[in-house]
Amino acid sequence: MAEPDAPRPVERKFPVRAMGDVLIVRKRAQELAIQFGLGGRRATELAIAVSELATNIVKYGIQGEVVVILDSEAGARGGIRVVARDEGPPIRNLEVALQDGCDDTGPIDPTLVLRRGGLGTGLGAVLRFADLFEYQQGETGKAITVTFFR
């Protein structure tokens, strides 16, 4: 008797080219997380992480996408992977960029905060919310993958 096939991960892709796309992918990712059983608070944390990653695609990449992968086989109870990919320059120093109040070159000048459109806390928040965080740099772009377990 053949064993039933394991459920395949469900994947949703969202193009990110403008700030309006950030709102769409954030909302859809949160809805998918709730439907997947992540729980209200964790779904909100995932939505914040997606928003930060998508905003960084718009601000620092040329174009990109956010992929939300619902995987009931991930970890002990299943999880959601979010892959944010863009065509654009690499993160020069990831360790520094993950620190609050910094970009990828060091501390942010307080007089530039309004012009740059952020406090330099986005990637650090993504790291704190996610259960797993991975950065990959390729020849034509980069990808950040984060996982949220149920």
Q: How confident is the model at residue 2 (pLDDT cuts 50, 70, 90)?
A: very low
Structural domain of 18: 10-88+121-149
58 pLDDT higher than 70: yes
Helical residues (DSSP H) of 13-140, grouped into ranges: 19-36, 40-60, 94-97, 113-116, 122-129
1 pLDDT higher than 60: no
Distance CA 107, CA 85 (A): 25
Is residue 139 a part of any domain in this protein?
yes
- Residue 148 and residue 70 in contact, taking contact as beta carbons nearer than 8 Å: no
- This prediction has a pTM of 0.90
**pLDDT value for 71:** 93
Neighbour-count burial of 21, counting CB atoms closer than 10 A to its CB (0-12 exposed, 13-18 middle, 19+ buried): buried
Is residue 111 a part of any domain in this protein?
no
DSSP states along 58-74: HHHSSEEEEEEEEETTS
Is residue 42 a part of any domain in this protein?
yes
First-to-final CA distance of the chain: 32
Distance CA 138, CA 141 (A): 5
Is residue 32 a part of any domain in this protein?
yes
Is residue 94 a part of any domain in this protein?
no
Read off the amino acid at residue 74. Answer: A
In this predicted model, what pLDDT tens digit does every residue of 88-140 receive, in sequence order? 899 999 999 999 988 888 888 887 777 777 788 899 999 999 999 999 999 88
The structural domain count of the chain equals: 1
Distance CA 16, CA 68 (A): 13
Structure tokens at 121: 């806390």
Q: What is the CATH number of the domain that holds 49?
A: 3.30.565.10
**pLDDT value for 37:** 93
Higher-confidence residue of 106 and 52: namely 52
CA angle 132–129–67, rounded 5-degree value:
65
